[in-house]
Amino acid sequence: MFTRRQTIGLLGGGGATLALGTCAAETAAQSAAAPLADDRRWLAKLGEGLRQEYDYAPDVEGRLPDGLAGTLYRNGPGLFERDGAKKRNLLDGDGMIRATSFESGRVRFRTRFVRTRKYLAEEEAGAFRYPTWTTPAPGFLDNIPCIPSRSQAGITPVVKDGVLYAFDEVGGPYGLDPATLETRREIDPYEGAADSGPANYKAHTKTDGATGRWVLVGQRGRVSPELHIMVKDRAGRQERHVAQPNPRGAAYFHDFFWAEPYVVFYLQPALLSPLPMLAGFRPFAESLDWRPDEGGLLFVVDTTGARPPLTVEVPAVWMWHALNAYTAGDTIVADFVGYDAPDHFLGPNAALHAIMQGREGTAEAPGTLRRLTIDLTGRRARLETVAAGRYEFPVVPPARAGRKHRYGYVASLDSGQGWFHDGLARIDTATGAIAAFHFGPGHYVSEPVFVPDPAGAASTAAEDRGWLLAEVLDGASGTSALAVFDAAGLKAGPIAKVRLSHHLPMSFHGWWQAA
């Protein structure tokens, strides 16, 4: 990795000219996308930050389930603009925790920005100062190299041992007080020498539904990173730490599979072209090249060390999120949402870019539920489609994580092209049967979070016994609500809605903490 001084010396003054020209060309390409139609302008609210932090008791429509007691934490970007500068992509922005607490039929809703070092420095300056995943800093020299160096803590919330963790993919997670939402500090979960563990943690972790083990992965190095895996027991003690060279170098991945004792990385052919990024004229996301002809690569790591790591070639698929994985003899079954191409994310007219300028964008390749069946002895894998449709944000009931599952729950788009989902679906992975509810055009629906019904905690027969909680943005009113569904009766629609007095911007992931 080059230092900033080394990179400036290497590139000389010509880099600045090239940087300015490239940024202008990208802006022109983005502006070529058609403006959002009148009945779709409300979608821009997903990229509109909140100007204040909230704490109030919202109205409830319908009847909340008696057993629904605890707090739903969600995380996502809550601030997209400072001093006239705006983030380029819907997936980029300073992290904002939103907490919806349920107790005896009463509801309390709160939001709080994660006070990261980046957030505090830019709050004091009144302007963006650091490059992020999709957006350069305003000053050219601040973009050499154009690599995120400070966490936005805006992707995933996880509660462990009385700490609410807010994850990004830079550095370590930030710890917050789960009761007050006050930010404590950046935390390194690794129990070892600072220079022997991961420098940057991935946003996703896994909690084993049977053992309670907490599995985290991370990387050390940007251009050719080393992969790190940590396994902590239910009490938070580190049991295992495995470090392996990434067999694909700088291939980008966001999530991973856990099937005790294995971690499976799907190293998709999204490969980093580092020189434009080091030069300071392209941010990280725009330095990724999608090369489907090079195929995908599975990297299977036994965290106990009982068998050596295994690599298996598979077809090229873009994956944001795993549904679940489990072992069946000497086979690993891994379900996920996959795309034939990431056209909704990569490219100047990608939907997640264009919406930030109030324009339509490309999202032709659908996210479908797919399955990898990995034969560890035969060193081969089969890829198949479990359910066609347009899906994202897959989840299983927490008790099934790392164990055989039947049902997967996803955000779903009813019909047509696009990426912005308007409903939820339950997919039977054994039969392919789909039960769904869609709010219809004019709505955006976030990731569902499965909340187990405590009355059915002792039963393993009905894995769908519980509720689904999902944020819904209503385009007509410009406000959001939290919809509550009976997981087994999803097709009947929400049984209750927690109606907010304002909109909520895009959020990614949630965590349910029972009372």
Q: What is the tens place of the pLDDT at every residue in 285-294?
A: 999 999 999 9
Residue 382 falls within a domain, yes or no? yes
Total tally of structural domains belonging to the chain: 1
Average pLDDT over every residue of 451-464: 74
503 is in an annotated binding site: no
pLDDT at residue 368, rounded to an integer:
98
Find out whether 254 is annotated in a ligand binding site: yes
321 is in an annotated binding site: yes
Tens-digit pLDDT profile for residues 407-450: 999 999 997 779 999 999 999 999 999 999 999 999 999 999 99
Contacts of 482 (CB under 8 A, 6+ apart): 72, 100, 469, 470, 471, 472, 497, 498, 500
> pLDDT category, 164, cuts 50, 70, 90?
very high
Spatial separation of the C-alpha atoms in residues 352 and 92, rounded to whole Å: 10
| Average pLDDT score over residue span 174-203 | 96
State residue 12's pLDDT score.
Answer: 35
pLDDT at 406 over 60: yes
Asked whether residue 5 carries a pLDDT value surpassing 50, the answer given is no
Is the pLDDT at 7 greater than 60? The verdict is no
Report pLDDT for 24.
36
DSSP 366-392: --EEEEEEEETTTTEEEEEEEE-S-EE
CATH number, domain with residue 356 = 2.120.10
- Strands 407-412 and 423-428 come out as antiparallel
Q: What is the pLDDT of residue 194?
A: 87
Q: Is residue 155 part of a domain?
A: no
| pLDDT tens-digit series, residues 12-54 | 333 333 333 344 334 555 556 689 999 999 999 999 999 899 9
pLDDT band at 11 (very low <50, low <70, confident <90, very high): very low
Residue 89 lies in a domain: no
In a domain, 85, yes or no: no
Stretch 198-223: mean pLDDT, rounded? 94
- Which range has the worst mean pLDDT, 94-103, 142-151, 435-444, 478-487? 142-151
The rounded radius of gyration (Å) of the Cα atoms in the chain is: 22
68 phi-psi bin (left φ>0, alpha ψ -120 to 50, beta other): beta
**Rounded average pLDDT over 171-190:** 97
Q: How many residues can be counted in the chain?
A: 515
- Identify the band that residue 281 occupies on the pLDDT scale cut at 50, 70 and 90: confident
Read off φ and ψ for residue 450, nearest 5 degrees: -85, 125
Give the pLDDT confidence score for residue 288 in this predicted structure. Answer: 94
User: CA–CA separation, 185 vs 201, rounded Å?
Assistant: 15
The per-residue pLDDT for range 348-393, each reduced to its tens digit, is 899 999 999 999 999 999 999 999 999 999 999 999 999 999 999 9
Cα separation, 144 vs 494, in Å, equals: 49
Q: Is the pLDDT of residue 85 over 50?
A: yes
- Residue 232 belongs to some domain of the structure: yes
Q: What is the pLDDT of residue 447?
A: 98
Peptide bond into 261 cis (omega under 30): yes
List C-alpha distances in Å: 401 to 210, 425, 450.
8, 19, 12
Determine the average pLDDT of the residues in 116-129: 97
Tell me, what's the pLDDT at 201?
97
- The CA-based diameter of the chain, rounded to the nearest angstrom, is 67
The pLDDT score that the predictor gives to residue 463 is 82
Q: What is the mean pLDDT of the chain?
A: 92
- The range of the structural domain enclosing residue 462 comes to 37-70+99-112+196-514
- Residue 192: CA count within 13 A, CB half-sphere: 16
Chain segment 307-318, per-residue pLDDT in tens: 999 999 999 999
Q: What are φ and ψ of residue 394, in 5° steps?
A: -80, 145
Cβ proximity of 468 and 409 under 8 Å = yes
Q: Say whether pLDDT at 259 is over 80.
A: yes
> Is pLDDT at 1 greater than 70 in this prediction?
no
pLDDT of residue 221: 80
| Residues 130, 148 contacting (CB under 8 angstroms) | yes
Higher pLDDT, 127 or 8: 127
pLDDT tens readout for residues 322-339: 999 999 999 999 999 999
